[in-house]
Structure 1
Amino acid sequence: MQENFSGLSTEKVNPNTLKIDIASTGDILQMINEEDQKVAIAVQKVLPEIEGVVDEVVHSISQGGRLIYLGAGTSGRLGVLDAVECPPTFSVDPELVVGLIAGGEKAFVKAVEGAEDREEFGKTDLQEIGVTPNDTVIGIAASGRTPYVIGGLRYARELGANTVALSCNEKAKISKEAKHVIEVIVGPEVLTGSTRLKAGTAQKLVLNMISTASMIKLGKAYGNLMVDVNISNFKLEQRAIGMIQSITGVEYEEAVSTLKKANNEVKPSIVMITLNCDYEEAKNRLEDANGYVRLAIER
């Protein structure tokens, strides 16, 4: 079926970059930079919509559900990228935040032609991971009309899952398939239709906000420190020790010793030092406080 793309703002010609092909290197970079500056402003306009989504994600996870990203091409890769960064950053189970991309994992590094054009593929991928009504499914598509995303969102909605549509066009097709709608209007791209540019940047900003804000609301931070970091290498170990010192005021040696006693977990280390208790009591206090270090200490 023929489809008219001319009405999509992401497909329109940008009048500010008509002569980019004959511009100097410096002027090309200036054009790109000037267009990029519009992205954060566009995201700012949809903060209330993003807020509603974060609250839904927190509710989903609190009820035993997951955060699931669904997209194709650049949009799919951005979803996968955000998902895989959550376990090391917040020590969550790799299955808690899931990124699905049309064409499967191999499509992350090499395009799988035609995979995004089949609605049933989106449904099938969600079925394979056993999506439930407790999950939040975020469909990502710069154009807002990707069949793979439409099929996935439609299935998730029918199943009773919380659904979100993230696009960069007004009145996007995927918006009709979701409970929550985020449309970040960044305007025409520097290179016409190249949505890996402003649209991709906007989607990355929004996904960063959703996952980060949700994890903070779930007790993964103390102040602005990532106290639930997964210590998987030397750099992260030193960061963890530094956080313990910063929060508790102890010397380096005590921070190292306590971290070892706390099974390399920063949050119980902080509680152990602050309240002068053992690991078991610190864990119990954290559990009673739903993972919030500040509450575990104050109570």
Structure 2
Amino acid sequence: MAFIKISEEPSIYSKLETKSIRELLEDINREDRKVAEAVHQAIPQIEKLVASVVPRMHRGGRLFYIGAGTSGRLGVLDASEIPPTFGIPPTRIIGIIAGGDVALRSPVENAEDDKEQGWLDLMKYHINEQDTVIGIAASGTTPYVIGALSEARKHHILTACITSNPDSPMAAEADIPIEMIVGPEFVTGSSRMKSGTGQKMILNMISTTVMIQLGRVKGNKMVNMQLTNQKLIDRGTRMIMEELGLEYEVAKSLLLTAGSVKKAIEVYKRSL
């Protein structure tokens, strides 16, 4: 029986070019509202994955995202946002895209069709059994990702995937498949839309929950964020003021000396 890609079935909307701007926006938004529910249905699988990733990262393991096109770009985006948000090295969560960094801005011809290259790209990082690999592909059929997951499993590395189609070839290579069934896209086959939105939501859920579980958040605050601009320095200063009851300039000086909100609070409490 042929594998059916729900994500590439014809849109339920037609004659888009005849619609008004308001009609197009309303219709796109109507479809987007389906994404959150599809992600909600996948929470048990997301929970299983996070519960498996956290102890591995406690032991020094890393989390790899691997994908092509939109899926690869979203993985690289999520990985790149973790160090400034949670203050961990960029070597702990790594995004890999078929075709390399040039593919972040421009398509790389046939990059996603190479079934061997995904594993070769992972090997550049000396990947090992403590690590986790999450393949991302709306179709669930991308050779670059399938090959990477298949080889990872052969090397006893935990594998997972995020896809918009049930029972896909990619899911067959994943220990923990996350199947987010958002249905046909508004523009037929344009997986940058609902599938991409859902992938972004799930990646946010995975990385944020992992970081909280690893102690990178206190209360509801980013106490380990990197102080890369004045806005974040001000935010960190106010966190310290709230926590320790200090004046603004004292809190700011303490923050800049310590380098993070968490360290600043620890240093101050040790000095008492």
TM-score by length of 2: 0.96
Q: Does 1:266 align with 2:243?
A: no
State the 1:261 CA deviation.
3.6
Q: Which runs of 4+ in 1 moved over 6 A?
A: none
State the 1:253 CA deviation.
2.1
Distance in 1 between residues matched to 2:119 and 2:17, nearest whole Å:
41
After superposition, the C-alpha distances for 1:221-268 in whole angstroms (9 at most, x for unaligned) are: 111100000112212111111111122232212212322342x22102
The answer as to whether partners of 2:116 and 2:144 remain within 8 angstroms in 1 is yes
Aligned residues: 272
Tell me the residue number matched to 1:180.
176
Which of 46, 50, 69 is the matching residue for 2:46?
Answer: 50
Which of 66, 73, 83 is the matching residue for 1:70?
Answer: 66
The answer as to whether partners of 2:65 and 2:76 remain within 8 angstroms in 1 is yes
Q: Does 1:22 align with 2:39?
A: no
Helix, strand or coil at the partner of 2:81: helix
Q: What is the CA RMSD across the aligned residues, in angstroms?
A: 1.5
Q: Does 1:12 align with 2:6?
A: no
The answer as to whether partners of 2:233 and 2:252 remain within 8 angstroms in 1 is no
Which of 87, 91, 108 is the matching residue for 1:91?
Answer: 87
Helix, strand or coil at the partner of 1:192: coil
Which of 136, 156, 179 is the matching residue for 1:160?
Answer: 156
Tell me the residue number matched to 2:228.
232
Tell me the residue number matched to 1:297.
none
The answer as to whether partners of 2:39 and 2:202 remain within 8 angstroms in 1 is yes
Map 1:1-299; keep pairs closer than 5 Å. 7-15=4-12, 17-262=13-258, 264-273=259-268, 275=269, 277-278=270-271
State the 1:4 CA deviation.
6.1
Distance in 2 between residues matched to 1:71 and 1:221, nearest whole Å:
28
State the 1:269 CA deviation.
1.4
Distance in 1 between residues matched to 2:183 and 2:22, nearest whole Å:
23
Distance in 2 between residues matched to 1:69 and 1:257, nearest whole Å:
38
Distance in 2 between residues matched to 1:111 and 1:261, nearest whole Å:
44
Helix, strand or coil at the partner of 2:148: helix
Q: Match of 1:168, as an amino acid?
A: S
Distance in 2 between residues matched to 1:4 and 1:190, nearest whole Å:
24
Helix, strand or coil at the partner of 2:26: helix
Distance in 1 between residues matched to 2:198 and 2:263, nearest whole Å:
36
The answer as to whether partners of 2:115 and 2:144 remain within 8 angstroms in 1 is yes
State the 1:201 CA deviation.
0.2
Q: Match of 1:265, as an amino acid?
A: S
After superposition, the C-alpha distances for 1:168-209 in whole angstroms (9 at most, x for unaligned) are: 001111111011010000000000000000000000000000
Helix, strand or coil at the partner of 2:228: coil
After superposition, the C-alpha distances for 1:51-93 in whole angstroms (9 at most, x for unaligned) are: 1111122122111110100000000000000011111111111
Helix, strand or coil at the partner of 2:126: coil
State the 1:95 CA deviation.
0.8
Distance in 1 between residues matched to 2:242 and 2:39, nearest whole Å:
33
Give percent identity, aligned residues only.
47
Distance in 2 between residues matched to 1:191 and 1:86, nearest whole Å:
31
Distance in 2 between residues matched to 1:53 and 1:266, nearest whole Å:
29
Helix, strand or coil at the partner of 1:119: coil
Structure 1 stretches lacking a partner, 5+ long: 282-299
